Structures are given as C-alpha cells and as structure tokens.
Amino acid sequence: MTRLAELRLYRIDMPLVRPFRTSFGTQDTRDVLLLQAITNDGISGWAECVAMEWPGYSYEYVDGAVDVLAEHLIPAAVADGTIDPHVVHRRMSRLMGHPMAKAALETAVLDAWLRTEQRSLADYLGAVRTEVDCGVSVGIPVDESIDSLLEEVSGYVDAGYRRIKLKIQPGWDVQAVRAVRETWPDIPLQTDANQAYTRDDGPVLAAMDPYDLLLVEQPLPEDDLLGHALLAQQISTPVCLDESIISVATADTAIAFKAASIINIKPGRVGGYLESREIHDLCLERGVPVWCGGMLETGVGRAANVALAALPGFTLPGDTSASSRYYAVDITPPFVLDDGRLRVPTGPGIGVEPVPAILDELTTWSAVIDVANP
C-alpha cells in the first residue's frame, strides 16, 4: 500500500530579474519554501508555499510557515502516512488559519497521489483547455517614472502578453493608467491596488473609468465588503476581489453582497487547489468570471496554477506569466510564452519537478521530516 514516508522542506533564494514594487512593499528576491512529499514507493510530490519573507501581504511569512508545518500541520494531517489529499484537507481544516502553509502541504500530497495514479492535475481539476491566455503584472517603477513604466509595458506587449495589470497606489494611479491606455488603446488593461485605498477615495477610482479597464482589483481593505459594494455603485469599472476571498464561503458572501463582479482565485490564499476548484464552481454557477492570480511563483507553483487556469470558468487572462517574467533561471524547465499563452502541463501530477542541480545550487536551508515520527 502506497503511503507517505517523509517530507522534505527546502528554502531557496530566487533573485528577481527586476524589483517588484506594490503598495505594500518592494521585492528584489524571493525566499521560496518548497515541499517534497516522498512515498514509500519513491514517488515525489512537489509544492510551493507562496508566503513572503515578511508579513506584508499577509500575516503568513516563510519562517512562520516552516514552524506551523513542522509543529502542527504535518503531525495533524499526515502522521499516519496518508496520501489522500481529501483526508489531508479535512484534517487541516480543524486548525485555524495559515492557508498558504496548508495549501503547500495539500498540494505536495495531491501531487504525489496523482503521480501514483498517473493522472495530471489539470485532468483531475477538470481542465477544458490545453493552453491558457497569459497576462502580466507590472509593478510600480522604483523611480515612479512614466517613461520607466512605458518602457517595461512595451517589453511585455512585444512579448505577446494578452493583458496588462498595473499596480497602483494613491499618487500613482490615474496618470499611470492614462499613459498606458493612450499608448496602447486596445490592450486589455486592469489595475490592482492591494487594499491601498479607502472609502473616501471613490472619486480617484472613478477618475480611471474613462480608460476602459477590465477591472480594479482589491481597492479597499480585505475586511471591507460593504465598502466594496458601495464603491461598485460609484464607479463603472468592475470591482474584483482578491485578498477578501479566502474560502468558498467568503466568495459566496461577496457575490451575494454585490461587493465583486469578478473574483481572483489564488490557491495559496484560499488554502489549496481543492478549495480553489470549489470557488471556481460556485462562480461558474453564479455567472461570475474568475481568473488565476499569482504570487511570483517558480515553475513548481506556476505549473499548478496553469492547470487551474484551464478550468472553464477562468475566462480572463491571469497572472500566469512566463518564467522569464520574474526569473533569469527557474528551478524547473522554464515556462515559455507562445503567442501569449502557456501550455497546460500534461504529465502526472503538476507535470514538472525541480531540476536537481539548480535546486542544490539555490537551496539555503533544508529539513527532512519522517512522517511516522514528525
């Protein structure tokens, strides 16, 4: 009988090709936490924890994720060696919070299970496409120069990306949107505020309505569903929720309150791909478009996100960019843009795994946890 034998944790240092600045901070490297779930048959499942190095985007951070995995989630969910991801999901639900750490453990087990079944994640989730349209997220230029912004966007347009997303914050919003829209009148364009505005900023957000935006993403604090519902009545640009959506229940509430007409599904934020599929199914039933957000993932996380983005309800291009958008060298064989799209992996599980030599070179810390004695 196949069972989980051990879990390995790796921290790797991944420099970004350029600094990525948002309303909550700037990143020039990623401290990435990877999980490897190894069965007694020698099959490995892989996953990536998307927690950042510091609690800026979320209360979760890498050091905390390592601790909660080793001390709580792994003992609670897989101490008996189960590789049934549904069992793991149910057991972890008894513990509060930490969706990014939970998503990583669930995905590593799910990947191992699917590899034993010789079944792809895309097939398991219900994918209907063999390739997905790709958008790209453009950070706030470090020098806050419109020229720098246009130069960066021009490179992505030339590369074939099918949608541009601009990070915005108070003082860097209308002028940036205007410049990009005037330069590329027909490119699908949206904005992402990462909670940077308040209810009093309705007029500023309304000032971007004339620029034909696909959506404005998470303009207000994540706990302000009422504020988003009120804002949706003040502006013509569709409101999309990101950080507010942490489960199928919060998605249901947001839709019922008319706080969002579009939803960004981030598997790490909602606790994994099982919950992501539930949110997708709810939105598909309610006629609410969804798209797959990104967290600067390596090829491990990107592969799983591309599989998710191939489901039928993902009708808008996501942040599933090519590997080269963030990394000069990825830890897996790189994802390469082809006519603005990425191919959905078809191999067992997530369909990719780290290149051993690259993983060894970039690893800064690792640990082995025997699940029989975590």
Indicate if the alpha-carbon torsion angle 276, 280, 282, 286 is positive or negative: positive
CATH code for the domain defined by 4-118+356-370: 3.30.390.10
pLDDT at site 23: 84
Name the residue ranges covered by the structural domains of the chain.
4-118+356-370, 122-343
CA distance 22 to 117: 41
CATH architecture, domain defined by 122-343: Alpha-Beta Barrel (3.20)
pLDDT at site 374: 47
Tokens of 104: 């990583």
pLDDT at site 372: 66
pTM over 0.95: yes
Identical fold at 4-118+356-370 and 122-343? no
Please, are residues 218 and 245 in contact by the beta-carbon 8 Å criterion? no
Tokens of 34: 């990877």
Q: Where are the beta strands (DSSP E) in 262-335?
A: 262-265, 290-292
In angstroms, the Cα distances linking 225 to 13, 22, 179, 191 are: 36, 22, 30, 19
Catalytic residues: 167, 266
Indicate if the alpha-carbon torsion angle 326, 341, 167, 197 is positive or negative: negative
Identity of the residue numbered 169: Q
pLDDT at site 25: 85
pLDDT at site 368: 97
* Rounded CA Rg of the chain: 20
pLDDT tens for the 374 residues of the chain, in order: 899 999 999 999 999 999 988 988 889 999 999 999 999 999 999 999 999 999 989 999 999 999 999 999 999 999 999 999 999 999 999 999 999 999 999 999 999 999 999 999 999 999 999 999 999 999 999 999 999 999 999 999 999 999 999 999 999 999 999 999 999 999 999 999 999 999 999 999 999 999 999 999 999 999 999 999 999 999 999 999 999 999 999 999 999 999 999 999 999 999 999 999 999 999 999 999 999 999 999 999 999 999 999 999 999 999 999 999 999 999 999 999 999 999 999 999 999 999 999 999 999 999 999 986 54
CA distance 6 to 85: 15
